[in-house]
């Protein structure tokens, strides 16, 4: 990617994932500066509009709804900015986990049975549990709970609805959580996650010192190849582009269950995608440059 560009780095924002975005943004900023770019950090579109210097490219590292539900991409597209990430349609399809699961299942990828509810009285689960409860539109495992019985399930739904308007009640799959990153068409090595506790929740992601990340994972090569193939199917099914990360659970029979797609993954130097990129042979600085190189120009009609 050409250096000496003016990059507007969108970081922080106003979502529940603000602190994670700030940490990602600081790491990305350092890498962009190392490539010789001029970097201006902005919190939202209002701050972007107020810049008095032309912007060559917008690097979106806003996590959560601020940067991943498709609305930001739609605005950048309408205003004619060149930006990283996917377009607004792919962003919306990926953000709303219930919609993503339907499209991914149609593409032939396994995904746990689930129900979307807006009120605890809407619960009508078909299985006997346990279940995972999480917001239908949120990231960083915000509002993630496991319920082992019907009473716990109701409590978990009430708790999750306190941070989201709609939650996903999903059959719990016992297995190992894995993730596969894709950057500019390059499929990264598989990362397996072994949390300190039972769930890879917010605490396990950002606070625990005991969570283990195994890259390559302790799986046979055929399972890893299957995860990579499924990640490509998910990207295509959700019309994703540029860069992103797809999360799965692999059970003890080697079945691969799609969980969700992340269109703006964490980019701290210890985040999952940078870990995989390092095994692939890319430094953090190279990874950031590769992502910047995927930026595309929005139209003006949407």
Given strand 145-147, what is the order of strands in its sheet? 114-117, 167-171, 131-135, 145-147
For residue 29, what are its two tokens? 């900023």
82-83 and 186-187: which strand pairing? unpaired
Q: Catalytic site residue 262?
A: yes
Hey, what are 27's tokens?
A: 């790491």
Q: How far apart are CA 60 and CA 264, in angstroms?
A: 8
User: Any catalytic annotation for residue 202?
Assistant: no
The catalytic residue among 12, 13, 15, 17 is 17
E-only strand ranges, 184-242: 186-187, 191-194, 212-214
Options 66, 87, 171, 260, the catalytic residue: 260
The phi-psi region of residue 278 (left if phi > 0; otherwise alpha if psi is between -120 and 50; otherwise beta) is alpha
Rounded (10°) CA dihedral 98, 16, 231, 203? -110
Which tokens is 47 given?
């701050």
Catalytic annotation present for 68: no
| Catalytic site residue from 139, 181, 266, 298 | 266
Instruction: Using DSSP, state whether 279 is helix, strand or coil.
Output: helix
DSSP state of 188: P
Active-site hit among 262, 271, 289, 298: 262
Residue 131 makes CB contacts below 8 A (sequence gap 6+) with 125, 146, 147, 153, 156, 169, 170, 171, 172
How many CB atoms sit inside 10 A of residue 69's CB? 21
Tracing tokens 């190392």 back to the chain, one arrives at 34
198 is catalytic: no
- Residue that the structure tokens 């949120």 belong to: 138
Q: Rounded to an integer, what distance in angstroms lies between the CA atom of residue 206 and that of residue 140?
A: 9
Query: Residue written as tokens 């579109």?
Result: 45
184 part of the active site: no
Q: Is 260 a catalytic residue?
A: yes
Q: Looking at the annotation, which residues are catalytic?
A: 17, 140, 206, 245, 247, 260, 262, 266
């Amino acid at each position: 990617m050409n250096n000496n560009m003016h990059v507007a780095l969108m970081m922080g924002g106003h979502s529940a994932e603000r602190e994670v975005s700030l940490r990602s943004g600081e790491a990305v900023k350092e890498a962009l500066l190392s490539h010789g770019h001029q970097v201006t950090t902005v919190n939202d579109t209002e701050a972007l509009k107020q810049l008095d210097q032309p912007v060559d490219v917008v690097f979106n590292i806003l996590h959560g709804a601020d940067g991943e539900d498709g609305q930001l991409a739609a605005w950048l597209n309408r205003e004619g900015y060149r930006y990283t990430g996917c377009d607004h349609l792919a962003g919306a399809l990926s953000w709303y986990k219930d919609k993503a699961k339907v499209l991914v299942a149609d593409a032939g990828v396994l995904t746990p049975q689930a129900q979307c509810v807006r009120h605890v009285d809407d619960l009508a689960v078909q299985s006997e549990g346990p279940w995972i409860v999480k917001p239908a539109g949120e990231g960083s495992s915000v509002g993630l709970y496991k319920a082992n019985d019907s009473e716990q399930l109701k409590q978990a739904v009430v708790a999750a609805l306190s941070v989201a308007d709609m939650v996903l009640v999903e059959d719990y799959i016992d297995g190992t959580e894995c993730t596969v990153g894709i950057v500019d068409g390059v499929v990264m090595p598989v990362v397996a996650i072994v949390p300190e506790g039972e769930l890879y929740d917010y605490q396990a992601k950002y606070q625990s010192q005991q969570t283990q990340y195994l890259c390559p994972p302790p799986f046979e090569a055929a399972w890893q190849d299957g995860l990579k193939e499924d990640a490509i199917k998910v990207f295509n099914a959700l019309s994703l582009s540029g860069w992103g990360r797809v999360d799965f659970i692999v059970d003890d029979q080697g079945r691969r269950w799609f969980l969700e797609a992340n269109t703006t993954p964490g980019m701290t130097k210890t985040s999952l995608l940078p870990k995989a990129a390092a095994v692939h042979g890319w430094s953090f600085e190279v990874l950031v440059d590769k992502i910047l190189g995927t930026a595309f120009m929005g139209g003006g009609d949407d």
